[in-house]
A and B are shown apart, each in its own frame.
Chain A
Amino acid sequence: MLRGPGVVTAHIGVVTFPGSLDDRDAARAIEIAGADAVPLWHGEADLRGVDAVILPGGFSYGDYLRAGAISRFAPVMGRVIEAANSGMPVLGICNGFQVLCESHLLPGAMIRNAHLHFVCRDQGLTVENSGTAWTRAFTQGQRITIPIKNQDGQYMADARTLDEVEAEGRVVFRYAGGNPNGSARDIAGVTNAVGNVVGLMPHPEHAVEPGFGPDSVEGGRTGTDGLGFFRSALETLMAKA
């Protein structure tokens, strides 16, 4: 999609909480995908007119309590929850996924990785639902590689919730080539009933630029599978407009 003076594009907000780490990276990914990145501040109950919101990775408030448990009460989150409930595309990456679960916008919760270590690696994922606002640029069953890096990434929910989520096709990604953290049923990401809110542990914003992404068949650090997330949002928003 073209950008420049006079070219209409989507505005995607990125929330910075104290302890957010990948906020500038998410903003960079948005710009690379051709949209406009708008910084949002945790302490301001204002979405500044954005069309979509990303809650980025990091250790908000240090994650000394449950990951995401404090951020969920930030002033900006009231607005995010309202907007999500009225259909705005919202993506939670890693810590952002944890915040979405704590906000009850997504089912389940994350606990400490099964092996108890922080893990950083290039992670294979299978796209299980290419119908959400953030995955429509992918094909069903597509295998992609996205870096993962977290300490509290083990996705958990009671069996009934998991069955429901599965039955409704709300598992968006599953780990492929090894489960890095012990997540239930290899679940890496889920969506809400409508498909506008998506959360996942891996970091798509770190697979958008050749030379700085995961290893791919093209060569070292050339993987750009993450671009699909941001292009999907753009397509979703442009289709609406």
Chain B
Amino acid sequence: MTSSQSGGSTSASADQAPIDTVANAAATPDQEQPYAELGLKDHEYATIRDILGRRPTAAELAMYSVMWSEHCSYKSSKPHLKQFGEKMTDAMRKHLMVGIGENAGVVDIGDGWAVTFKVESHNHPSYVEPYQGAATGVGGIVRDILSMGARPIAVMDELRFGDIDHPDTARVVHGVVAGVGGYGNCLGLPNIGGGALFDASYQGNPLVDALCVGAMRHEDLHLASASGVGNKVVLYGARTGGDGIGGVSVLASETFDEGGPAKRPSVQVGDPFAEKVLIECTLDLFKAGVVEGIQDLGGAGLSCATSELASAGEGGMRVTLDLVPLRDPTLRAEEILMSESQERMMAVVRPDKLKAFQAITDRWDVEIAVLGEVTDSGRLVIEYRGEVVVDVPPRTVAHDCPVYDRPYTRPAWMDDIQADSASSLKLPEDGEALKETTIALMGSPNLASREWVTAQYDRYVQGNTAMARPDTVGVVRVDEETGRGVAIATRANDRYTKLDPYEGARQAVAAAYRAVAVAGAEPLAVTDCLNFGSPEDPDSMWQFAEAVRGMADACRDLSVPVTGGNVSLYNGTGEPGRVDSSINPTPLVGMLGVLDDVARATPSGWRESGLGIYLLGTTRAELDGSRFAELSGHLGGRPPVVDLEAEAALAGALVAASREGLVGAAREVAEGGLAAAVALGALRYGVGARITLDEVATRDDLTVAEAWLSESQGRAIVAVEPMGEPRFVEMCAERWVLAARIGETSGSGAIEVEGQFTLPLGVLRVAWEAPLQERFGS
């Protein structure tokens, strides 16, 4: 799809078109309005009429329709999301400077530093136009972080694509990866991690979840609000065009004649250069102290920015729409209000500081327009061509959308899917079969090397990246003097969540928590991105309700607060009621941890031979939903048990051992089980391992194959210097963490499993590197 702008040849008709003013709306109460096409229900439209005491103008209808959409209003998810607040304890608030509800949460990481981070989806646009959809997804989340007063310091991306061999998948993969890279690279933000997985359930519904993290001093924190009567409302950045208007175009075609501009592209087009300049300019504005509040323009554009700023401040704002700099002069009032043109920000500026403000924007060649000012009228009033086209209480637009308790029920197919355990699959019976399974596992699309993806991302820029791919956690330095920094891990297992949404969500929290601790960092806070099917389908609404409950419970039990995030619903194209109606539910967790010195971050692979390899935690025969089962195309049974007390103890041991300098390398044991953990630990630096499974198998009452392939949670492998082994074992015992010495690192260039097989790393590497490389090219 191309996203060219429509030409300006039809501007004459736009100029002549009548403007639907407030006066006109009051005078023509019976004029029909296309609210249904804009996604509003009958009773929602009636509510708007009640609020205003008249019918809305076309511009008001546009504002309400987009601000009351699921995406902006969270009207179906709110009743569930409130658990994140209800289940928050005082201990969880300890490091939380700003919680849910602002552009992004802010966490105190010590030494006067604060970090803000958030993950957001851009799923639907990325299917329609993969490059621009993904690019603007990155751009949007970066502006959220920037608007808090922080310098963005890194991005991550979690991607989900359809079947790797489906003919449409390559189109989406190429576009999305190039888009994430093209935008992030050009912004100068290191990409420090994430994932890219494949499953047929995402066919026609890929997920693009982008995370950004920013850092600031405590005193630099800014919240977006329009405070101070008489302060100026300034729009700055890119000009406003016709991109991203999408559904609102029905207003033009229905309310007015057919002669208007051609159908607009509904996907926004990004300009990362403009955003890079906007970042530097905005940071200079904050530093100079010339802004009272800043809000980014993202979804719902000016509608969102004006109504949210006004309702967070003194409650009133007066704006003249004619002053908005346009790159398409044919845009109508409601289109200007709706446009999702990228790389724009709105600032509230004291009149006496306007000159200093403009000196900074001039230096960066950034265009500004003073659109109006803050009032205490309690109304958001928008004028266009000398007439009032919007006159509303801003809170009703930004916050008072009707909220729905959508019905949900456990899907009828859950019993069948849970009864279909992977125990029916044939496990490898001898060493040769176990070796072949190991090669197949590491060469399967979801465990294979992501190098083809991550090589397209700059991980070096800014010079503070201590860990990025192929490590499983991103680590960046925040303070260049002390080395203090953060570790971030993103995790979601859609297969587990399909089998049990409550447990799947708990697992996502546990896995991300564990991953951060494996790197030696203290887990502090969570951002989440909840990707589910239609809220109007009771099956997917049940998955959503269960997952939110599980996530909130797990966050409470591990004492890590959810600081903010995003919900993406309607990810499904199938007939409701079927097992494959929607995507596999994907509750993504982004966990932030802190390291007093990033130099201490634990490597994800061993560099030398002769280190003792320990398996921490208990292994059960848990293969349901596993990567091993996926090799046979199997998805059924019950996901692995999540024991959060055990997770907390494990994390405590890992962080303490890292502090004492005992850990040479460590990895979580997760998808692909011990097989994948050992394989990836060895592949990282090309140093082999000699492993004995018999003792662990006997201790935990398992077959060797189960010990090697099971995906039991609460486990990690740790490589320890011989000198430190006694102390390490003691530390684990003190915390009631089971530690078994399962072997050592070796210079043999192979993974040797005693009595089973010897697998040369060269053979393994070829299998591991092939899947993405072969399908998607050089």
User: Which A residues have a C-beta under 8 Å from some C-beta of B?
Assistant: 18-19, 21-22, 24-25, 28, 43, 57-59, 61-64, 115, 117-121, 147, 149, 151, 203, 205-206, 209, 211-212, 215, 219-221
Contacts and interface: CB of A to CB of B under 8 A. Distances in A.
Contacts of B459: 120
A22 B185 contact: no
A235 B79 CA distance: 67
Contacts of A28: 463, 480
Interface stretch (B59-67, B228-236, B270-278, B371-379): B270-278
A229 to B, nearest CB: 15
A58 B465 CA distance: 17
B241 to A, nearest CB: 16
| Interface majority SS (helix, strand, loop, mixed), chain A | loop
A24 B466 CA distance: 17
Interface of B: 178, 181-182, 185-188, 271-274, 276-277, 363-365, 454-467, 477, 480, 598-599, 603, 605, 607, 684-685, 777-778
Contacts of B273: 18-19, 59, 61-64
A221 B277 contact: no
Given A19-B277, A211-B598, A211-B599, A59 B272 contact: yes
Given A118-B456, A220-B685, A212 B466 contact: yes
Given A18-B276, A119-B456, A220-B605, 16 more contacts: A18-B273, A18-B365, A19-B186, A21-B187, A22-B461, A61-B273, A62-B186, A117-B778, A118-B458, A120-B455, A120-B456, A121-B455, A149-B185, A149-B461, A151-B185, A215-B685
B412 to A, nearest CB: 46
Given A19-B273, A59-B273, A209 B457 contact: no
A73 B326 CA distance: 28
B457 A115 contact: no
6 contacts: A28-B480, A118-B182, A120-B460, A149-B460, A219-B607, A220-B685
Contacts of A121: 455
B610 to A, nearest CB: 15
Contacts of B685: 215, 220
Nearest to B181: A118
A63 B187 CA distance: 12
Contact of B460 (A43, A118, A147): A147
A226 to B, nearest CB: 11
Contacts of A203: 460
Contact of A120 (B178, B274, B458, B477): B458
Contacts of A21: 186-188, 276, 461
Nearest to B461: A21
A57 B182 CA distance: 15
Nearest to A180: B455
Contacts of B456: 117-120
A206 B33 CA distance: 58
A115 B185 contact: no
Contacts of B777: 115
Given A24-B462, A59-B272, A120 B457 contact: yes
Contacts of B186: 19, 21, 59, 62-63
Q: Which of A22, A64, A220 has the most CB of B within 10 A?
A: A220
A183 B465 CA distance: 28
A149 B458 contact: yes
A112 B277 CA distance: 24
Contacts of B181: 118
Contacts of A205: 463
A167 to B, nearest CB: 32
Contacts of A62: 186, 271-274
Contacts of A149: 185, 458, 460-461
A58 B273 CA distance: 10
A229 B210 CA distance: 36
Contacts of B188: 21-22, 58
A75 to B, nearest CB: 13
A25 B463 CA distance: 6
